[in-house]
């Protein structure tokens, strides 16, 4: 097969992803494949299991991680079964913050990178297809269109779980463009992409003096306030923060010890309640898996400065870490 044939096949594959329809068409899809309405944790768990699981004498071995991670089988089994599997079943563990801790080159970044790239490929398959409201800056789940008093009936009829509310932008569009006729709202298939900031986000804190919460939650577009007349108008707001763009997928929070306290409160709200505060709007729903990394030598440095870990936690809005984290140490396992 020459290069031109491969390019043609690639274009055909990309065109196959360009599904568009209405909310009614999406409901027809749900009858055939209710798994398209999965939450973020369930999607990641299904992606990992789909690659294959081997039951060995030392426990489960996940082929998804085989190509790049070695010597961490026990840790990976705990991560997948204790966290992702339980979270996929919507148990309370999904409200815990996933904290990866280990030395430099211990596999933290590699693990998160594999999940990100895996989601990019998985959402391009039929089994991992994801659909969102067309034109939504947070590409949110179309089932958010269903009024709350009808959700129980929808859940029973279609065998799905509905969680979350419409973002301010879609709520305004539903009223003004579609006159509250949810069946007319356009829906499209989406494929996660870190490069295009769709379903995958990465946040790395900068200098504490210049950190801006807008990097996480979006910002006001002052150039449009004169046109729309209010900062509370969704059309005058940029929903371009990492929490907005990572909706439905995964967000990596790097070097969290450098983060300002105000960032951690938003992350705690997201993990516990499934929403966060942005601008002059009500709480915005988001469904995403948030992964945070921490270097062990960073902790040792604080101890060397006679700054106990527990005190450092308190100073860093430690509620996020003390009570609500699920910590996994990534250290190599020696097997004789």
Alpha carbons 289 and 200: distance in angstroms, whole number: 10
Q: Which of 99-103, 160-164, 255-259, 313-317 has the highest mean pLDDT?
A: 160-164
- State which H helix or E strand residue 244 sits in: helix 242-245
Q: Which residue from 214, 325, 313 is spatially nearest to 268, judged by alpha carbons?
A: 325
Bridge-based pairing state of the strands 219-220 and 237-238 = antiparallel
Lowest-confidence region among 19-23, 110-114, 199-203, 288-292: 288-292
Q: Which two three-digit tokens encode residue 76?
A: 């990976």
Query: What's the chain's length in residues?
Result: 336
Angle at 175 between CA 174 and CA 180, to 5 degrees: 70
For tokens 């993990």, name the residue. Answer: 271
Q: List, in sequence order, every residue forming a beta bridge with 186; answer none if it has no partner.
A: 22
Q: What is the tens place of the pLDDT at every residue in 217-251?
A: 999 998 898 888 888 899 999 999 999 999 999 99
Question: Which residues does residue 190 pair with via DSSP β-bridges, in sequence order?
Answer: 130
As a CATH number, domain 17-329 is 3.40.50.300
The full set of domain ranges for the chain reads 17-329
> What pLDDT score was predicted for residue 77?
92
pTM here is 0.87
**Per residue in 54-71, is it b (16+ CB within 10 Å) or e — as a string?**
eeeeeeeebebbeeebee
d(Cα 327, Cα 332) in Å, to the nearest integer?
Answer: 16
């Amino acid at each position: 097969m020459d290069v031109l044939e491969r390019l043609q096949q690639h274009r055909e594959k990309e065109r196959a992803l360009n599904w568009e329809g209405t909310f009614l068409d999406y409901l027809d899809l749900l009858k055939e494949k209710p798994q398209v309405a999965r939450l973020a944790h369930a999607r990641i768990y299904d992606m990992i299991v789909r690659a294959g699981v081997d039951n060995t004498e030392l426990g489960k071995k996940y082929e998804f991680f085989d190509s790049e991670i070695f010597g961490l089988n026990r840790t990976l089994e705990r991560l997948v079964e204790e966290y992702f599997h339980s979270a996929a079943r919507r148990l309370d563990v999904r409200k815990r913050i996933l904290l990866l801790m280990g030395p430099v080159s211990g596999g933290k970044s590699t693990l998160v990178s594999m999940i990100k790239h895996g989601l990019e490929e998985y959402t391009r398959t039929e089994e991992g297809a994801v659909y969102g409201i067309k034109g939504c800056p947070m590409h949110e789940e179309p089932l958010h269109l269903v009024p709350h008093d009808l959700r129980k009936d929808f859940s029973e009829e279609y065998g799905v779980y509905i969680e979350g509310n419409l973002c301010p932008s879609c709520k305004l569009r539903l009223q003004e463009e579609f006159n509250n006729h949810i069946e007319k709202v356009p829906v499209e298939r989406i494929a996660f992409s870190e490069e295009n900031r769709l379903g995958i986000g990465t946040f790395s804190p900068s200098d504490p003096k210049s950190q801006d919460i807008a990097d996480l939650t979006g910002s006001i577009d002052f150039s449009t306030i004169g046109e729309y007349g209010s900062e509370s108008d969704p059309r005058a707001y940029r929903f371009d923060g990492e929490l907005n763009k990572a909706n439905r997928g995964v967000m990596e929070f790097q070097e969290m010890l450098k983060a300002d306290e105000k960032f951690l409160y938003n992350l705690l709200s997201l993990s516990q309640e499934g929403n966060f505060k942005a601008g002059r709007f009500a709480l915005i729903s988001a469904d995403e898996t948030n992964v945070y990394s921490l270097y062990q030598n960073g902790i040792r440095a604080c101890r060397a400065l006679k700054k106990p870990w527990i005190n450092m936690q308190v100073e860093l809005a430690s509620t996020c870490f003390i009570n609500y984290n699920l910590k996994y140490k990534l250290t190599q396992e020696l097997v004789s």
